[in-house]
Structure 1
Amino acid sequence: MRIRTAAKAATTLALAGGLALTLGGAAFAATGPTNLTGKGCPSVYNNSASGGTYTQTLTKRFVAANGIAYGDYKVVFHNSAGIVSSAGTREYRCY
């Protein structure tokens, strides 16, 4: 019986964790990091959103074949509890 109870508890926790991740993803999509297009490709940019801070760090600046400059940014989210999580990468046009 104990193994069955433990398995049910683990399943319940996994489902609850999945729901929390889904809700967090929805909040991220609604506010997220700042769109840096047109801001000149700063080396670092911070903005507050979703109950924490997004830090966007320039990882690569390049000029496309059409002559337009772009910047690739690594995005990290710091929540109010101090937990850091990756929010992927973004590309913005530099002008």
Structure 2
Amino acid sequence: MRNKAKLAAVTVAGGLLAATMSTSALAAGGPTNLSGKGCPSSYTNTSGGVTWIQSLKSKTQSSTQRWYGLYYVYYKKPNTGEHIKQPNREYVCW
């Protein structure tokens, strides 16, 4: 029983370490806040060796006549070039 408990603890600790490492890689940079940048059709930035790609999905105007852009956001894995979908973001265009 004691060996099973040790194995479970090591498995949980290893999983937490892996989650922390992937989270810190994503936290190294991040997509640029596009508020006030006029709703570009796409925007790419590299921060801490990580590339973020944002593509305009839609643009809407509010009742106060302000324009908002909704963007698809992708994280580009540095070693494989694979694009990982992230939550969409909305910015005020001005």
Q: Which amino acid aligns with 2:40?
A: P
Question: CA 1:83–1:21 in 2, change beyond 3 Å: closer, same or farther?
Answer: farther
TM-score, normalization by structure 2? 0.75
Alignment of 1:78-89 (within 5 A): 78-81=76-79, 82-89=81-88
Question: Alignment partner for residue 26 of structure 2, among 19, 25, 28?
Answer: 28
Q: RMSD value over aligned CA atoms?
A: 2.3
Q: Residue 67 of structure 1 corresponds to which residue in structure 2?
A: 65
Contact 2:38 2:93 in 1 (8 A): yes
2:86 corresponds to which letter in structure 1? A
Shift in Å at residue 83 of structure 1? 2.7
2:50 maps to which of 44, 49, 52:
52
**Structure 1 regions of 5+ residues with no counterpart?**
none
CA pair 20-84 structure 1, distance change in 2 beyond 3 A: farther
Equivalent-residue separation in structure 2 for 1:20 and 1:46 (angstroms): 27
- Cα deviation for residue 54 of structure 1 reads 0.4
Percent identity over the alignment is 40
Aligned-partner Cα distance in 1 for 2:13–2:64:
48
List gaps (5 residues or longer) in structure 2.
Answer: none
Which shifted more, 69-78 or 47-56? Answer: 47-56
Structure 1 residues 53 and 59, CA gap change in structure 2 (3 angstroms): same
Letter in 2 for 1:45: Y
Q: CA deviation at 1:15?
A: 5.0
Q: Which residue number corresponds to residue 77 of structure 1?
A: 75
Task: Give TM-score scaled by structure 1 length.
Answer: 0.74
Residues 51 and 79 of structure 1 are in contact (CA less than 8 Å); yes or no, is this contact kept in structure 2? no
